[in-house]
């Protein structure tokens, strides 16, 4: 089964590389994801948002997931781990925010 999975992934990557539009789409997704994560970080550093702000958490999670998708397509294991861990940490923040709201009400 492992060799079949490797073959399927390799065939998909090759098909994507053969179509220039796919490469451009992956570039667009990666830039969008990076802008989302960096915007969230910039807004929290400037004091506009707090660490439990819904916008901050959403930008971080969605941006990380987009970058994770590109990392999967590029088969970059370190970046796959980093981006999905970052998104997971964002989900921890969502849980903390929900708990804080329940406690406040």
* 28-33 mean pLDDT: 96
Say if 7 falls within a structural domain. no
3 located within any domain: no
Q: Residue 17 falls within a domain, yes or no?
A: no
Domain annotation covers residue 81: yes
In a domain, 23, yes or no: no
Lowest-confidence pick of 6-10, 18-22, 47-51: 6-10
Q: Examine the pLDDT at 1 and tell me if it is beyond 70.
A: no
State yes or no: pLDDT of 36 exceeds 80: yes
Residue 4 has pLDDT above 80, yes or no: no
> Measured between alpha carbons, how far apart are the two ends of the chain, in Å?
51
Domain region containing 67: 28-104
Residue corresponding to tokens 């990666």: 30
Domain count, the chain: 1
The DSSP string of 51-88 is TT-HHHHHHHHHHHHHHHHHHHHHT-HHHHHHHHHHHH
Q: Does the residue 39 lie in any domain?
A: yes
pTM for the whole structure: 0.75
């Amino acid at each position: 089964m492992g060799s079949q999975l490797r073959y399927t992934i390799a065939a998909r990557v090759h098909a994507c590389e053969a179509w220039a539009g796919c490469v451009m789409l992956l570039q667009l997704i990666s830039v969008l994801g990076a802008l989302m994560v960096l915007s969230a970080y910039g807004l929290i550093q400037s004091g506009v948002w707090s660490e439990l702000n819904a916008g901050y958490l959403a930008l971080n999670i969605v941006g990380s997931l987009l970058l994770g998708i590109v990392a999967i397509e590029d088969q970059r294991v370190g970046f796959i781990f980093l981006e999905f861990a970052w998104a997971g940490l964002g989900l921890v923040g969502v849980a903390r925010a929900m708990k804080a709201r329940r406690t406040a009400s």
